[in-house]
Structure 1
Amino acid sequence: MSESAAPTPGPRSGEDTRTAVTVLVALGANLVIALAKAIGGVFTGSPALLSEAAHSVADSLNEVFLLASLKRSKRVPDAQHPFGYGKERYFWALLAAVGIFVMGGCFSFFQGAEALHSSSSEDRTGYLVGLAVLGVALVAEGASLVRALVQVRGKARKAGHGMLAEIRAGDDPTLRTVLAEDSTACLGVVFALLGMGLHMLTGDGVYEAVASFLIGALLVYVAYRLAMESRGRLIGEAIDPAQRREIRRFLDEQPEIDTVTTLLTMRLGTESTLVAARIDLVAGLDSEEVEEVLMRVKAKMTEVWPHADQIFLDVTDASAKDRARARQDLQALDRAVAADAGTDAEGASP
């Protein structure tokens, strides 16, 4: 017998609004900065500055993707997509990662290679203008980063753990992507400042080439990490071990449930989770009692875990082998929770 809970709206509208504001702040900053860097790069001929301009253009395009994901992921389920559109966020986050790789990383490597083969000399005044542009960009990127960090810190406080733990476990790919972009942008500007400054002081263009290569390597690494996270969510990723253990223990504690032989979970979006469990009920229950038990258990699970809006309970007879496997699964889950707890303690705020 199988039962499913009806989808219920998640309590994330306020959080999504704050995320949209964070994305808009980042978009506005990146558009202005991209224009300033591009003008400064053309004026000075600086490959590091042009690499940073490409970086900001890529970030601006990515912010448009992320804004689209916020809207599209809110569409209601339909016959074609009965579990909703929550995974739209992971898809658009993946496109953002591709944009960072192609438009940012690859262009930066190209600019670095061009700088190594270039023997042209740059005007000192032009470089002072370029350094000023990068200084302004660092302030603007820093302001956008602070906005994202403030939101992450607020979420971490609500969850009761540190900021590093929240960044690792954050279920919103939109906010995580903006945070990664802003952090990378600030570090990239520092690389460009060092490259341009050393070039101006020494007259050796290799410093700017190295800066471009460093920016490119940084962008490729960030793009890879974001893409792997989005890939995991798109393929179908379970919720964190601590929540899985909570659900498992809740089911085990029900007097009518003898054994939980299997528990499967999958993120369907930032506020939607599929929970599927095979359970063996105690003997002596008739069909009406079984129906009442399933309805009560589902209702309580949805109350305790609002994001668990798709719940399927399959009543089955557990064999000895099933029971042994269930004990092993629970032990593995306990070890995973202990490992995560140790990691979270390291990243917790003092």
Structure 2
Amino acid sequence: MAQTAPRTESVGTVVVAGAANLAIAVAKLIAGLLSGSAAMLSEAAHSVADTTTEVLLYAALRRGARPADPRHPFGYGKESYVWAFLAALFTFVAGAGFAITHGVTTILVHEHSGNYLVSYVVLAISFAIESVSLARAVRQVRRESRRWRTTPHRFLRMTADTTVKAVFLEDSAALIGLLLAALGVGLSELTGDELYDGVASILIGVLLLVVAGILAHSNTSLLVGRAVPKRMRHEIEHELVGLPTVHRIDTLLTMQLGPDDILVAAKVDFADDATGADIEAAADEAERRLTGRYPEIRYVFLDPTRSLPGVTGHARHIQDPDQPPPPPPDPDRTPPPP
């Protein structure tokens, strides 16, 4: 149940954002055609891209939530990142490409037809609707950051739920884009120079490029196989070291299998007098502790192993993506005595 609630909330956030973007896209397109504003047409393309993105994110949530089967024993969590990556790619190609191209054309041609009033009305209505969608995304981000005992900024940077991250960034970019469009249209009306309208369109395209780049990088990292955040990894290590009969952790590896699925694998050096029954009990206790603390942990694998001679301390190798890998062993160095 703890895993279903965040996923259900993410679906609701995506649906609200998609419905808002669809209504706004139609309004902006009509305003752009009536006013002839490049910035308004770019904003229409922006909203069309966002609407398509929400459809892809909805597919990501639904297909990624399918249960494991014999062909996919770890489930379909990573498929959600494939669809989310496609959503970022569509924003990059369709939204940003159209906005920048149309802005450049407007600057070169310097033509404008129609009145400006309809643009201002649609921009104001769009800003109000986008604010409602962003407010829902912000509430989810704050709620999830409290659940993970971190700041909203860090949650957005580290979360494996790229759908809520995408909605938050896209809605934020949409509000900024609306302000840019209003500024471009207003300056063009005041000066009679369509340069400002075209520049606003290009800036909207650049804004979309930035958002698409951030989301594409995040989804690529998760597709490759990203570890859990450092603090969570240290807490997992602490729980394992605290198990009865556990002497030390030689290797601890983690991976995000999906937004709500985490794999933990460790090579564990048990006490020399630990029996097979002790090791089995420790493995059961490890799974109980870790899943109790983090319901997102679905798989816990412990591999009993003997530590290397002369190695002391709690951990010989703990996965840490923020640190460089250890240097390779020196073949000329004399190994420690047995």
Determine if the TM-score, normalized by the shorter chain, exceeds 0.5.
yes
2:28 maps to 1:37? yes
Shift of 1:166: 2.5
Equivalent residue in structure 1 for 2:263, among 270, 274, 278: 274
- The alpha-carbon distance between structure 1 residues 291 and 325, as it changes in their structure 2 partners (threshold 3 A), is closer
What is the percentage of aligned positions where both structures have the same residue?
A: 40
Shift in CA distance, 101/287, structure 1 to aligned 2, threshold 3 Å: same
Deviation at 1:163, TM superposition (A): 2.3
Which residue of the other structure, out of 207, 211, 215, is the alignment partner of 2:196?
A: 207
Q: Work out which of the residue numbers 62, 66, 69 in structure 2 matches 1:78.
A: 69
Q: How far apart, CA to CA, are the structure 2 residues paired with 1:333 and 1:33?
A: 41
Q: Confirm or deny that 1:178 pairs with 2:167.
A: yes
Tell me, yes or no, if structure 1 residue 247 matches structure 2 residue 216: no
2:253–2:318 Cα contact (<8 Å) kept? no
Shift of 1:72: 1.1
Match of 1:88 among 63, 79, 91: 79
Structure 1 partner of 2:254: 265
Question: Which residue of 9, 12, 22 maps to 1:18?
Answer: 9
Q: CA deviation at 1:171?
A: 2.9
How far the C-alpha of 1:106 sits from its partner, in A, is 0.7
Paired AA for residue 60 in structure 1: T
1:339 corresponds to which residue? none
Post-superposition shift, 1:302? 2.5
Q: Are the counterparts in 2 of residues 245 and 334 from structure 1 also a CA contact under 8 Å? A: no
Aligned equivalents of 1:157, 1:21: Cα separation in 2: 19
- Kept in 2, the 8 Å contact 1:72–1:88? The answer is yes
Distance of 1:269 and 1:328 partners within structure 2:
24
Q: Does 1:140 align with 2:129?
A: yes
After superposition, the C-alpha distances for 1:54-107 in whole angstroms (9 at most, x for unaligned) are 000000011111111221112110111110011222222111111111111111
Matches within 5 A, 1:206-225: 206-225=195-214
Give, in angstroms, the shift of residue 327 of structure 1.
Answer: 4.9
* Structure 1: runs of 5 or more not aligned: 1-9, 337-350
* Matching residue of 1:7: none
Q: Separation in 1 of the partners of 2:152 and 2:255?
A: 24
The answer as to whether partners of 2:225 and 2:255 remain within 8 angstroms in 1 is yes
Report the CA distance shift for 1:120/1:289 in structure 2 as closer, same or farther (over 3 A). closer
Structure-1 residue corresponding to 2:99:
108
After superposition, the Cα gap between the structure-2 partners of 1:57 and 1:264, relative to the gap in structure 1 and judged at 3 Å, is same
2:89 aligned with 1:98: yes
Aligned residue identity for 2:45: A
> CA–CA distance in 2 between the matches of 1:175 and 1:266?
20
Partners in 2 of 1:67 and 1:131 — Cα distance?
31
In 2, the alpha carbon distance for the partners of 1:37 and 1:296 equals 58
**Post-superposition shift, 1:236?**
0.3
SS in 1 for 2:116: helix
Shift of 1:14: 2.3
Partner of 1:61: 52
TM-fit CA distance, 1:156:
2.5
**Map of 1:6 onto structure 2:** none
TM-score, length basis structure 1: 0.87
Q: 1:210 is aligned with what amino acid? A: V
For the 8 Å contact 2:85–2:215, the answer to whether it is kept is yes
Residue 314 (structure 2) pairs with residue 306 (structure 1):
no
> In 2, Cα distance between the equivalents of 1:291 and 1:245?
23
Cα contact 1:261–1:322 (8 A) shared by 2 = no
State the alpha-carbon separation in 2 of the partners of residues 301 and 321 from structure 1.
30
In structure 2, the residue matched to 1:46 is 37
Q: 1:328–1:277: structure 2 CA closer, same or farther, 3 Å change rule?
A: closer
- Aligned AA for 2:73? P
Q: Give the unaligned 5+ runs of structure 2.
A: 325-338
Shift of 1:335: 8.8
Q: What value does the CA root-mean-square deviation take over the aligned residues?
A: 2.2
C-alpha deviation, 1:143, in angstroms: 1.4
Contact 1:257 1:279 in 2 (8 A): yes
Q: Which amino acid aligns with 1:71?
A: R
Q: Is the 8 A contact 1:237 1:266 kept in 2?
A: yes
Q: 2:332 maps to which residue? A: none
Tell me how far 1:263 sits from its aligned partner.
0.2
Q: CA deviation at 1:113?
A: 1.1
**Residues 310 and 132 (structure 1 numbering): CA distance in 2 closer, same or farther, change over 3 Å?**
same
User: Amino acid of the residue matched to residue 299 of structure 1?
Assistant: R
Deviation at 1:322, TM superposition (A): 5.6
Q: Deviations over 1:211-241 (max 9, x none)?
A: 0111011100110001101111110000111
Letter in 1 for 2:256: R
Aligned length: 324
For 1:13 and 1:329, how far apart are their aligned partners in 2?
Answer: 30
